Amino acid sequence: MQKKLLNKTADRKEENEQLVLAVVGPMASGKNLVSEILEKKGFLAIDADRGAHTSIEENKEKILETFQKDAEKAGLSLLGPDGSINRRHLGRILFANPSLLQKQEAIIHPHVDTKLNAFIDSHPQQNIVLNATLLYKTPVIKRCKAILYVQSPLVFRFYRVIKRDSLPMKQIFHRFLAQKKLFSQYKNLNADILIVRNYRSKKCLEKQVFKRLKQIFNEGKQDYGRK
């Protein structure tokens, strides 16, 4: 594996130096499952996509100010019965319009970046996993030593979304389309991308993840979990 990882000091100066990994990939590819496997090896994982959901609520007034008119044109309400942002309705207008999606990302991504950096800094003695779809859009990606890109067949991903999120087919299509060039965006970082294929069983996936860890940890001679 070529040593062109994101952080140019990828050759760890000390055995106990903190390691930050990015687990990325398209919607419903299996990022959460890969993160869980890494957690069993002593990593501490954070779900950046959930952080984005929290940031949406924390920036509710700005979200309403920016997208309320577009929601009204689509006959949708951005507020749920409890007064919180209706993320499903917000997603319907954002993923149908790339320019609106960019506006939302400009609001949310700086907050997500701050949260992820704070998470890394608050756990200096542990190796970290950043689980995210669009991590390449945040500066924190520069702190990652390697990128694990999770791939899964489109049909598998489609049925996972239907089962997990119960989204309308049209909305699923828009979300998948928005992530069509996701892999190329990570390739543009000029970093080593280690592919993890989520095609079969969890056991097969674990074997792939452990193989990638050995590559990153110099054939597995170092300790995955730092306490």
At 129, phi and psi to the nearest 5? -115, 125
- Whose CA is closest to 34, among 182, 152, 153, 184? 152
Q: Does any domain span residue 67?
A: no
Q: Does any domain span residue 204?
A: yes
Residue by residue, pLDDT tens for the chain (227 residues) are 444 545 433 344 355 689 999 999 999 999 999 999 999 999 999 999 999 999 999 999 999 999 999 999 999 999 999 999 999 999 999 999 999 999 999 999 999 999 999 999 999 999 999 999 999 999 999 999 999 999 999 999 999 999 898 888 888 999 999 999 999 999 999 888 999 999 999 999 999 999 999 999 864 444 555 54
Q: Does any domain span residue 102?
A: no
Q: Does any domain span residue 211?
A: yes
Q: Does any domain span residue 201?
A: yes
Query: Please, which residues have CB within 8 angstroms of residue 89's CB and are 6 or more apart in sequence?
Result: 71, 76, 77, 78
Q: Does any domain span residue 169?
A: yes
pLDDT tens across 133-164, in order? Answer: 999 999 999 999 999 999 999 999 999 999 89
How many structural domains comprise the chain?
Answer: 1
Q: Does any domain span residue 35?
A: yes
Q: Which residues form the domain of 187?
A: 20-48+115-216
CATH classification of the domain holding 166? 3.40.50.300
Q: Does any domain span residue 221?
A: no
